[in-house]
Structure 1
Amino acid sequence: MRLVFAGTPDAAVPSLRLLADGPHEIVAVITRADAPLGRKRILTPSPVAQAAAALGLPIIKANRLDEAVTAEIAALGADLGVIVAYGGLVREPLLSTPRLGWINLHFSLLPRWRGAAPVQRALIAGDATTGADVFQLVPALDAGDVFGRIERPITEADTAASLLAELAESGGALLARVVDELADGSAVAVPQQGEPTAAAKLGIDDARLHWAEPAASVFQRYQGVTAEPGAFTLIDGARFKLHELRHARDAAALPPGHIRSVDGHVLVGTASTPLELLRVQPAGKTPMSAADWWRGIAAEEVIAE
């Protein structure tokens, strides 16, 4: 088949590469325009744009799929549109422009966590399982019938960054399989079952940890906001980033937000059991081990807000 691929971030790159290695022809790759990155704000192509260029694929850079982009895509005579985290909406008439419409790889078990941040929201909510779906794109957000699904349990070792990287690979393989099934006519889609939940994009307020909550809730939020936007608390009114945490083992309770060194472990209290700080970043400093930070401040106790 002739494919149009739309995607932007790193999470879309494995899908693009797998499809490029397959039997189908990618006639265009749509991605968002170059964006300023880093302290010097240098205009940088998206990860998908960089991957497409390395593969020698034609690239369309657009932040909106407007009439001009729709006409450009329509002229390509594509059989199928494939979208993975592009970052923009596909509306009519573009939605119906490829012969078979569009399919979407989404990193959740639909209809749970429709929207922009499904992996992050699943972790924050403490879901036991997650996965990825490939579904038919329809006008309603993430509401189309599902062609294929993968599932896996969520563990304490997962963060949003690590889990999304894993699902990008396994989900890419699922997507390639569905494309093959659509090509040979064996694909079967089933309606979504269950109550939809919304996965709104994360803001900086979502990343602040609240020590008055039980340890499980605090840790789940840390998982969901790592590495972006990045878990933090306030110490003396300044943002104190928390790059790595874990549940403390066999530790006595501490008052919520109170940080102490106990038997060589830097612990912070919650509404239940303490959490252990492993890697932190004080304001104006580079990331460091919590043990090094604690030795440097030489305090008996610090209060995090």
Structure 2
Amino acid sequence: MRLVFAGTPEVALPSLRALIDSPRHEVVAVVTRPDAPAGRGRKVLRSPVGALADEHGIEVLTPAKAGAPDFLARLAELEPDCCPVVAYGALLPQSALDVPEHGWVNLHFSLLPAWRGAAPVQAAVRHGDEITGASTFRIVRELDAGPVFGVVTEKVRERDTAGELLERLSVSGADLLLSTMDGIEDGTLVAVDQPAEGVSLAPKITVADARVEFTVAATAIDRLVRGVTPDPGAWTVFRGERLKLAPVQPTDVTDLAVGELRVEKRRVLVGTATTAVQLGEVQAQGKKRMAAVDWARGSRIDVGERLG
């Protein structure tokens, strides 16, 4: 099939590579978000998907809006049979959805209808799901509500961060997306409507959402921190300034007040609503990331000082 692939970040690269390498399909163009400033120097950079397409000599389309007349005209000229999508990052109007014969097929990193939205993997970790996965579905106007072609499942490991889980899903999901394209071309794959029950939402996580409050249970704090690692990154407040937190570890210590710090020889503990958590690496403002014990020694923490 003739394919126009839509995607933007690194998580989309395994899928794009699989489609480029497939002898059955031809990626005639990619659609990605416009080049944007990045890094300390704010240098304008191509998206990861756009950069990979450039390496393979594939046309790159970067519309500010997917409903722009010039983009729709070029898309029609390319005559794609199907448009596979992985983390494109922009809404697709009906005028674009109508162009390919087999529509736009999205690889979504959850077992739909669970965790529709922008942050399904983060939601799965934060809510303590034991099993998650990825789904391919035909895009419709309603958010992540189209009929499903196929799924793969993935166990959520006890200490998974969202980044680690997403990395595994990006690989197994690439295989799923490729097999979905094969099945659509063969005419052997039929999309099945999602059930009305079991719908849950996973909206985009903001920096404010990633703030750690120690007034909740240690388990909830552990899941929150892992669920926002690496992006946008967990943080709390110490002495009026932000302190970034890497994953923490629940303990059985029960004699610390909420947010209270205890510095020991080999670990730093913080009280929660249940048992204390042990800090991993931390990063104070203007400082490098370091082990919590090193940070605590340098900060000369007084007895009774707290985070939060």
Q: What band does the TM-score fall into relative to the shorter chain? A: over 0.9
Q: Contact conserved, 1:255 with 1:270, CA < 8 A, in 2?
A: yes
Q: Contact conserved, 2:218 with 2:277, CA < 8 A, in 1?
A: yes
User: In structure 2, what is the equivalent of residue 4 of structure 1?
Assistant: 4
Q: Secondary structure at the match of 2:184?
A: helix
Q: Secondary structure at the match of 2:280?
A: strand
User: In structure 2, what is the equivalent of residue 183 of structure 1?
Assistant: 185
User: In structure 1, what is the equivalent of residue 141 of structure 2?
Assistant: 139
What is the distance in 2 between the residues matched to 1:56 and 1:156? Answer: 42
User: In structure 2, what is the equivalent of residue 61 of structure 1?
Assistant: 62
Q: TM-score under structure 2 normalisation?
A: 0.95
Residues 12-62 of structure 1 show CA distances to partners (whole Å, capped at 9, x for unaligned) of: 111000000002001110001111001221101001011111122111112
Q: Contact conserved, 1:260 with 1:300, CA < 8 A, in 2?
A: no
Residues 264-303 of structure 1 show CA distances to partners (whole Å, capped at 9, x for unaligned) of: 2211111111111110011211100112112222335331
Change in Cα spacing, 1:253 to 1:148, as seen in structure 2 (3 Å) is farther
Deviates more, 1:171-180 or 1:124-133: 124-133
Residues 114-171 of structure 1 show CA distances to partners (whole Å, capped at 9, x for unaligned) of: 1111111222222222111000111111101111111122223211111111111111
User: In structure 2, what is the equivalent of residue 47 of structure 1?
Assistant: 48
Q: Please give the residue correspondences for 1:259-278 in structure 2 after superposition, counting only pairs within 5 Å.
A: 259-262=261-264, 264-278=266-280
User: In structure 2, what is the equivalent of residue 204 of structure 1?
Assistant: 207
User: In structure 1, what is the equivalent of residue 307 of structure 2?
Assistant: 304
Residues 63-89 of structure 1 show CA distances to partners (whole Å, capped at 9, x for unaligned) of: 311222111101111111111110111
Q: Secondary structure at the match of 1:203?
A: coil
Code of the aligned partner of 1:135: F
Q: How many residues align?
A: 304
Q: TM-score under structure 1 normalisation?
A: 0.96
What is the distance in 2 between the residues matched to 1:63 and 1:197? Answer: 30
What is the distance in 2 between the residues matched to 1:180 and 1:160? Answer: 29
Code of the aligned partner of 1:9: P
Code of the aligned partner of 2:32: T
Q: How far 1:219 moved relative to its partner?
A: 0.9
Q: Secondary structure at the match of 2:246?
A: strand
Q: Percent identity among equivalent residues?
A: 45
Q: Secondary structure at the match of 2:278?
A: strand
What is the distance in 1 between the residues matched to 2:11 and 2:163? Answer: 10
More strand by share: 1
Code of the aligned partner of 2:281: R
What is the distance in 2 between the residues matched to 1:300 and 1:252? Answer: 20
What is the distance in 1 between the residues matched to 2:118 and 2:301? Answer: 42
Structure 1 unaligned regions, length at least 5: none
Q: Contact conserved, 1:122 with 1:130, CA < 8 A, in 2?
A: yes
Q: Secondary structure at the match of 2:142?
A: coil
Q: Structure 2 residue aligned with 1:86, among 82, 85, 88?
A: 88
User: In structure 2, what is the equivalent of residue 238 of structure 1?
Assistant: 241
Q: Contact conserved, 2:154 with 2:169, CA < 8 A, in 1?
A: no
Q: Secondary structure at the match of 1:75?
A: helix
Q: Contact conserved, 1:105 with 1:135, CA < 8 A, in 2?
A: yes
User: In structure 1, what is the equivalent of residue 216 of structure 2?
Assistant: 213
Q: Contact conserved, 2:260 with 2:271, CA < 8 A, in 1?
A: yes
User: In structure 2, what is the equivalent of residue 21 of structure 1?
Assistant: 21
Q: Contact conserved, 1:2 with 1:79, CA < 8 A, in 2?
A: yes
Q: How far 1:263 moved relative to its partner?
A: 5.5
User: In structure 1, what is the equivalent of residue 153 of structure 2?
Assistant: 151
What is the distance in 1 between the residues matched to 2:218 and 2:95? Answer: 49
Code of the aligned partner of 2:201: A
User: In structure 2, what is the equivalent of residue 163 of structure 1?
Assistant: 165
Q: CA RMSD in A?
A: 1.3
Residues 1:292 and 2:294 aligned together: yes
Code of the aligned partner of 1:56: G
What is the distance in 2 between the residues matched to 1:109 and 1:62? Answer: 30
Deviates more, 1:103-112 or 1:90-99: 90-99
